[in-house]
Chain A
Amino acid sequence: MHKEAAIREPLILGHKTYHEITEDVCKPIEDKAPRMWYILFAIALVIGIYGVGCIFYLLGTGIGVWGLNKTIGWAWDITNFVWWVGIGHAGTLISAVLLLFRQKWRMAINRSAEAMTIFAVFMAGLFPLIHMGRLWVGYWTLPLPNHFGSLWVNFNSPLLWDVFAISTYLSVSLVFWYIGLIPDFATIRDRVKKPIPKKMYSILSFGWSGRAKNWNRFELVSLVLAGVATPLVFSVHSIVSFDFATSVIPGWHTTIFPPYFVAGAVFSGFAMVQTLMLVMRKAMRLEAYIHTRHVEYMNIVIMVTGSIVGTAYITELFISWYSGVEYEAYAFINRATGPYWWAYWSMMTCNVISPQLMWFRKLRRSLYFTFFISIVVNIGMWFERYVIIVTSIHRDYLPAAWSMHYPSHIDLGVYVGTIGLFFVFFLLFARFFPVLALNELKTILKSSGESYKNDTAPVHPYFAKNGHASHDHDNTNNH
């Protein structure tokens, strides 16, 4: 056991025993769902079904039902795709990067952040697929032997890199998430009494028994998966940015895109985690595990990545002038003062100014303020993608082809529908899955639990009698 500096804020508030952690996490799953859950689920389901309806209409009629035209061939679809992939960056970042940095606070939030990641990447993957118009030939993006002779997919194209990046990211995140879930499913399996849930959790837990050797492998697998997932997280959004950066469109052809996109993705991902977590901790009474300190840590990440994004915006603007390329300069003047000025300034306000407020300790520890900013940030990040994509292509090299993009109601329906579907998945997750990594949390209880840190926790009777012998090999003072 590592002893933690007394000055560090505890990560688990009050006095908890191992059993109480199990109770606190499993109770909301085993009890009847509150009425609010049904209301939210019904709303999300209706919106989701409406979105699916719009997608079917789109597939049946053609891409013409979107507000695209011959100048603007990419608009909301790709904006939404990048937006969702960006949101899907927080989960694996929290569980992988923070694991490598041994950040214990990740344990309270990694499970639901990863769930959010997976569902967000589902939603992201939907957009390129339906943009093909013929969903059923989606497998043409894979390098399969085919009847067109020896014609292969183009491995030089960033769009194909994206296919590999997104599918690798989705499947590796899913595996990482599930491996962590197995022991927690076993806990629920051993608690529930009703036959059907027992059977279900029994299948989901894969017969996990918690043997010493299993845990030994578990820890190594988590570490190695974190090690491979860390560069993966950074690669995915870098590759998404290559979709734009390798083209020759002014406003897209930019070498700073990869780091700028990755920072933006982390920024929006953490904002979405805040939005969900602030509601969930209240609804599921998990305030002892996800508290102000966790929110503050995440707000610091939002502040740092938000500042990187802000710097990138200003660098872009400066370089467009400094480069002396008039097309590049025009693309940026047009962004700020052209017909889409409102989108540009919304993006600037939401993404550059709002994270700077997090420098104030009072504000970054305020839950209401955080909730408000988390939504502002995600609106801002949607506008960022819209600005980059639509304002760069709507006025191209040929003024006769200049055009405007007006979204149709199908554009809107598909977008809102994915938000509905995302919440359908997330609400199901919160209802049936352990939303905290409950068994991992038990490993930090004695080092980061409040009652253990201030020595108010009762000493185990065995040690009260025999003295704490197990400390001699822990090198408490040498770490």
Chain B
Amino acid sequence: MAEKVIYAMYDDDDVLKDGAKKLVAKGVKVAEVFSPFPIHGIDPIIGVRQTRLGIMAFLYGLTGLTLATVGMRYFMIHDWPMNIGGKPNETYLDNVLAFIPITFEFTVLCAAHGMAITYLLLNKTLPGMPASNPDPRTTDDKFVMEFRLSENSQYSETELLAMLNETGVIEIDQKEIN
């Protein structure tokens, strides 16, 4: 089913934030905001929840920590215990000090790359992906709010447009999307 979408364009982040606040107060649902840079304070207004990527980074880091510990214990203690200068590697605990640098590096390696890959996948930003911003100017100096009529059924299209026009909008575009 085709859906009607309204794109309201602003030329200032504070004007958009002000408008979003007024519209949300009237019960309008803002589907999306496109902006060239992060607008601080917009997320709670339009109902975007804080991402949980930080927790993921912690888990990836934990994985790295475990892998490094298990790996070095296997290589250096179990599989081929070296005897360096009459100081044999017999238990992990005796040697753990020498393993700390690599344990740390590997933890960071896994946390950083795991999080970066998850970030790219969640955003659907990968090489060759098509851009989906409604107007090329939203990566320069314009800010766009997206509304879906189906999500705002309590208002008619004309009512919605009238409300938008009071918020300092500079351009309004309407599109049918599938």
Contacts and interface: CB of A to CB of B under 8 A. Distances in A.
Given A156-B89, A190-B140, A217-B53, 4 more contacts: A22-B140, A161-B101, A164-B101, A210-B36
Given A164-B101, A191-B136, A207-B130, A443 B38 contact: yes
30 contacts: A18-B36, A19-B140, A154-B82, A155-B102, A161-B102, A191-B140, A207-B131, A208-B131, A209-B131, A209-B138, A211-B33, A212-B33, A212-B43, A215-B38, A216-B51, A217-B53, A217-B119, A219-B38, A221-B53, A221-B115, A228-B111, A229-B108, A235-B104, A439-B36, A443-B40, A460-B14, A460-B168, A469-B18, A470-B14, A473-B41
Interface stretch (A45-53, A167-175, A360-368): A167-175
B80 A206 contact: no
A228 B111 CA distance: 8
B15 A228 contact: no
B33 A462 contact: no
B124 interface: yes
A218 to B, nearest CB: 7
Given A1-B14, A143-B71, A218 B80 contact: no
B82 A218 contact: no
A218 B140 contact: no
A216 B11 CA distance: 21
A189 interface: yes
Nearest to B30: A212
B34 interface: yes
Given A225-B112, A235-B104, A213 B48 contact: yes
B66 interface: no
A73 B136 CA distance: 58
Nearest to A440: B37
A155 B39 CA distance: 47
B178 interface: no
Interface of B: 11-12, 14-15, 17-18, 21, 32-43, 46, 48, 50-51, 53-54, 57, 61, 71-72, 75-76, 79-80, 82, 84, 89, 95, 98-99, 101-102, 104-106, 108-109, 111-113, 115-116, 119-120, 122-133, 136-141, 168
Nearest to B101: A161
B37 A209 contact: no
A179 interface: yes
A220 B54 contact: yes
Interface in A369-408: none
A211 B138 CA distance: 10
The 4 closest A-B pairs by CB, nearest first: A207-B129, A462-B168, A18-B141, A190-B136
Contact of B48 (A161, A216, A460): A216
Residues of A contacting B: mostly: helix
A288 interface: no
Interface in A447-466: 460-463, 466
B15 A168 contact: no
Give the most central of B82, B104, B137: most A CB within 10 Å. B104
A156 B34 contact: no
Given A161-B102, A442-B37, A206 B108 contact: no
A443 B37 contact: yes
Contact of A210 (B34, B80, B89, B127): B34
A470 B113 contact: no
Contacts of B126: 206-207
Best-surrounded residue of B54, B105, B141 (most CB of chain A within 10 A): B105
A56 to B, nearest CB: 32
A462 B169 CA distance: 9
A361 B106 CA distance: 43
Given A143-B71, A470-B14, A218 B139 contact: no
Among A150, A155, A171, A191, the most chain B Cβ lie within 10 Å of the Cβ of: A155
Given A19-B140, A164-B101, A207 B15 contact: no
Given A228-B111, A462-B168, A143 B116 contact: no
A212 B46 CA distance: 9
